[in-house]
Amino acid sequence: MGYVLIGTEASQFSGKARAALRWKGVDFSETVATPEVYRDIIEPRIGYSVIPVLLTESGQTIQDSGDIIDFVDRNTSGPPIHPATPLQELVSLLLELYADEWLVIPAMHYRWNRDDAWIVEELGRIARPDASREEQVAIGQVIANPLRDAAPRFGISDDTVSGIEAHYEGFLADFSAHLRKLPFVLGDRPSLGDFALFGALYGPLYRDPALGERMRRQAPPVVAWVERVRDERAGPEALLANDEVPKTLHPILKRQMSEQAPVLIETICALAEWTRAQPSGARIKRSLGVHEFVIGGRRGQRSILTFALWRLQRVQDHYRQLVGEERKRADNLLEAVGGMALVTTQLPVRLDRRDFRLVIA
């Protein structure tokens, strides 16, 4: 029977998980997350509405794109999604952190602040494929309203729009330059970093006709890469030898460290203050207030979002188990891109996920 992936084509994190499973050759089918699927399958298992969700043959329920990828990498055959070498794995985890928790900002901005008619109708089609177009638009608006209203929590405002667009366009230019040298992030086949970046670009941006056309004008190499990741299947191709990380990735990592890293470090400080009065096992609040941040040279405010620290903990765990020459090479890379503070600023508590929620371990 295989696995069942529950998600939608419009979802960033469904796209990330789907592309990884397809490339690896995992036997799975996909169920579209309609309102009925949320009500009858997702909410009884997870406790709230969220995608993607993976149902296994043995009855397990896996939620979160990173957890899904880790699960299938451990439990299915085929080449690994995670690189097998330490420096390439570190960069992959950093790019996952960046794509999942920072590129989501331009993805949400362009989706909701530009022409959102296409995504509204898409949401209506997903919810009611049998309805008329007019009914689908009306249903889509109802579904879209809370999603649109969430944008300010990510720092999307009149003050930051120009900075968000500058960041996105800078990323497209940097990634295009890399892709003129290599077909994928770390060599001749995709790996975790590709799938995370793909998720951020495919569902929210590439598939939207207007936004996809904009991407084609601004970054043809990125569009070609999106299509390669979407269509690629595992074969004899390999990652770069000798655990090499191409220097063409440095501009992307520097962009991450200059803008996302300060936000993560401030989030660590906010978590340290909040956890002083919390017992082991306490459920961690999704937001710990509001703070200032900078993106693309523009300053604004956003919620202090704690889930990003779950991704950061993965990075720090990997870094801290490196020793000897492996640690030295990692330090050299991090120093070159301005990222040492991201691995040396320790989280105040160990994080865990229990019952699909972030808790103090």
What is the per-residue pLDDT across 54-95, written as a single tens digit (0 to 9) for each? 999 999 999 999 999 999 999 999 899 999 999 999 999 999
Which residue type sits at 315? Answer: V
pTM, whole model, 2 decimals? 0.96
**Average pLDDT in the chain:** 96
Tell me how far apart the alpha carbons of residues 226 and 202 are, in angstroms, rounded to a whole number.
7
Percent of the chain topping pLDDT 70: 100
| Residues 102-107, mean pLDDT to the nearest whole number | 97
| Residues 341-347, mean pLDDT to the nearest whole number | 97
Residue 1: which pLDDT band, with cuts at 50, 70 and 90? low
Q: How far is residue 131 from each of residues 39, 77, 268, 332, measured CA to CA in Å?
A: 19, 41, 47, 57
Residue 299: which pLDDT band, with cuts at 50, 70 and 90? very high
Contact indicator for 294, 159 with CB cutoff of 8 Å: no
| Residues 204-215, mean pLDDT to the nearest whole number | 96
Query: Can you list the domains of the chain with their CATH numbers?
Result: 3-75 (3.40.30.10), 258-360 (no CATH)
Please report the beta strands in 15-107, taking only residues with DSSP state E, as ranges in sequence order.
28-32, 53-55, 61-63
Q: Is the confidence at residue 114, as pLDDT, over 90?
A: no
Give tens-digit pLDDT for 115-140: 899 999 999 999 999 999 999 999 99
Give tens-digit pLDDT for 131-189: 999 999 999 999 999 999 999 999 999 999 999 999 999 999 999 999 999 999 999 99
